Structures are given as C-alpha cells and as structure tokens.
C-alpha cells in the first residue's frame, strides 16, 4: 500500500497487521515511551478543507511522536481562498517535497485524485460521504480491546448512515473482519445501496439494537442535507436517539461508540455518552493517535523503499 485511501479492498491480514501495530503504539503511548525518530527528516502536511478536531490533532500528534516535521495548512488562510484549485494546491505542496499528505475534503474521491498527482503518500482523512479509513481502524481497535475480537460480534451502526463516511468505512472493515453489521435509522437516512453492502437494515431502533454487542452512534450531518429533508432534532432523538431505555435491549455488556463530534440530546443522551462503563468514546479518541501512528509507520516503510 503506497496510500491509504479507503478500507474497501483491504485484505483481512493487512487490517489485522495494522491493528496489531496500532495496539503496540497504544501501549507505548500509555507508557510514555513512544519512539521518536522513525519519521525524522520526513514532512507531513495536514491539508484539511473541512473542519476537524480529533483527526487533525491526532495526525499532528502521531507525526510528531514519530519525529516528523508536521505542518498544519490552514485552508481558510491559504491561497485556496483566492481561487487556487485543489490540484494546483497539491502541486505546490509536492514541489516542497512533502512525504505524507493527510487530506480531508468535502468531495468524495478528492484524496484519490490527489494521490495520482503527488509523490507523497496520501492518507484519506475523510472525503465527502465516501470513506474515513483511519476512523474505522480506531473503531476496530477499540472494539478489539474491549471485546477481545471482531469476528462474530453484532455491531449496530445507527442514525444518519446515508451521509456518513464513518459508517461506510466501518461497514467495509467490520464485514471484512467477520462481524455481523446492522444499520439502523429512518428510511430517509439509509443509503439505497445498503442491502448490497451485505448488512441487515432496520428502521426500528429497538429491533436493530436487540442483542447487539456494539452500538455505534453517528452524527446527524445536517450540513450535508438539502431541501426539506432535515429531521427535527427533537423528533430524531425520540425515535433514533440512544437513551437508557433503547440501550436496554442490547446485550447487557454492549459498548457504546460515537466518532464525534457528538450532538448531545440529538443522537445520544448525555448520560449514555458519559457512562463510564458502557461508553468507550474517550478510548476511541485515544486509539486514534495509536492508529494514525501505525498508518504513518506502515506507509513510511514504502517511502523508504521508493526513495
């Protein structure tokens, strides 16, 4: 793998190796003994055309912990505002001999397009409604740590699946690794191609959560909704928001996940989000740094061979 553009198409051994490496970084991070010179002399540029808290910060931390020079390009103060195209921006960064380019963009396929134009290894940090591969890796690592396995688990992915790149990457990864995946949401927020993914589709939240090992909530992405199809927050919470009563039908040891940012009281009740036993949302963020270190480590091995 020269780039990480999507989970779709990755083989189980590659994903398992990535998770094993990420686990080793998770342990190092907890012990404070992170290796610091693996990416010495390498340059990582964070190129985010959409807002981010977790992904951008954790790529910055991951790069710095491995010794890379990290540059966060602020798109809002860059020449993109003067009309520079995506490809011209990429060519400019390429001319500076950037080694690793982390890209988030509102258009599905933008990181793949860039990967054909630049010498750097390109990492998709979320493109439109397509994929968010490092989110799926950190989610899988969190599940594996809590449940000891992925294979055979029932994972319910709930809410605005239609607009969610997190859901797509998770569906591909979890099915590839042998989980049983359910998607749960209102008919208007279920993608038309859902059955083709090989998941079970539920429009009733309690039926979808019944017996689940993992309940993964998604953010209601109002910014990607058009026309009059935006559900009211209150109504959405009533039918699809995760509260104690709905969670009660999942397994008694089911874990609750959310990729963030969370809309409390819209897709998840605050008491559930903050439940120290059921909620693993903080651990997801922690595993984000470890997974991104693993991704940078693996991709940089190919950089070393190529240069």
d(CA 162, CA 167): 8
Q: Please, what is the minimum distance in Å from the beta carbon of residue 279 to ligand CP? A: 15
**Total residues binding ligand CP (CB under 6 A):** 10
Counting contacts by CB under 6 A, is residue 135 touching ligand CP? yes
CB closer to ligand CP out of 53 and 306: 53
d(CA 262, CA 10): 29
Question: Residue 1 annotated as binding?
Answer: no
**Among the residue ranges 222-230, 245-253, 258-266, 270-278, the one whose residues contact ligand CP (CB under 6 A):** 258-266
For residue 239, the tally of other CB atoms under 10 A from its CB is 13
Is the Cα dihedral 172, 259, 207, 185 positive or negative? negative
Q: Out of 191, 208, 241, 259, which residue is the one contacting ligand CP (CB under 6 A)?
A: 259
d(CA 185, CA 207): 11
The separation between CA 227 and the C-alpha centre of its own chain, rounded to angstroms, equals 27
Is the Cα dihedral 76, 225, 245, 288 positive or negative? negative
Q: Please, what is the minimum distance in Å from the beta carbon of residue 167 to ligand CP? A: 12
CB closer to ligand CP out of 131 and 297: 131
Counting contacts by CB under 6 A, is residue 128 touching ligand CP? no
CB closer to ligand CP out of 111 and 259: 259
Question: Residue 53 annotated as binding?
Answer: no
Q: Out of 67, 128, 260, 265, which residue is the one contacting ligand CP (CB under 6 A)?
A: 260
The separation between CA 163 and the C-alpha centre of its own chain, rounded to angstroms, equals 13
CB 291 within 8 A of CB 134: yes
Q: Out of 40, 53, 76, 234, which residue is the one contacting ligand CP (CB under 6 A)?
A: 53
């Amino acid at each position: 793998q020269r780039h990480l553009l999507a989970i779709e198409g990755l083989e189980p051994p590659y994903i398992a190796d990535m998770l094993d490496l990420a686990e080793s970084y998770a342990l190092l991070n907890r012990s404070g003994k992170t290796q610091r010179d693996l990416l010495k002399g390498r340059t990582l540029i964070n190129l985010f055309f959409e807002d981010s808290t977790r992904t951008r910060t954790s790529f910055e931390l991951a790069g710095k912990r491995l010794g890379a020079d990290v540059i966060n390009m602020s798109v809002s103060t860059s020449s993109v505002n003067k009309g520079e195209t995506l490809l011209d921006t990429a060519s400019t960064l390429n001319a500076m001999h950037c080694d690793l380019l982390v890209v988030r963009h509102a258009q599905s396929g933008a990181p793949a397009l860039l990967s054909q134009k630049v010498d750097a290894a390109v990492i998709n940090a979320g493109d439109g409604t397509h994929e968010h591969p490092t989110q799926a890796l950190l989610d899988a690592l969190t599940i594996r740590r809590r449940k000891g396995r992925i294979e055979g688990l029932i994972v319910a992915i709930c809410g605005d699946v239609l607009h969610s790149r997190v859901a797509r990457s998770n569906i591909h990864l979890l099915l590839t690794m042998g989980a049983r995946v359910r998607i749960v949401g209102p008919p208007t927020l279920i993608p038309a191609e859902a059955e083709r993914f090989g998941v079970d589709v539920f429009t009733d939240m309690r039926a979808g959560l019944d017996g689940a090992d993992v309940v993964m909530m998604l953010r209601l992405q109002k910014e990607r909704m058009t026309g009059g199809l935006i559900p009211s927050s209150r109504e959405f919470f009533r039918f699809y928001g995760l509260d104690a009563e709905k969670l009660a039908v999942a397994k008694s040891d089911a874990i609750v996940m959310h990729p963030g940012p969370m809309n409390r009281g819209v897709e998840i009740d605050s008491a559930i989000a903050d439940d120290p036993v059921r909620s693993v949302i903080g651990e997801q963020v922690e595993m984000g740094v470890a997974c991104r270190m693993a991704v940078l480590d693996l991709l940089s091995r190919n950089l070393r061979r190529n240069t």
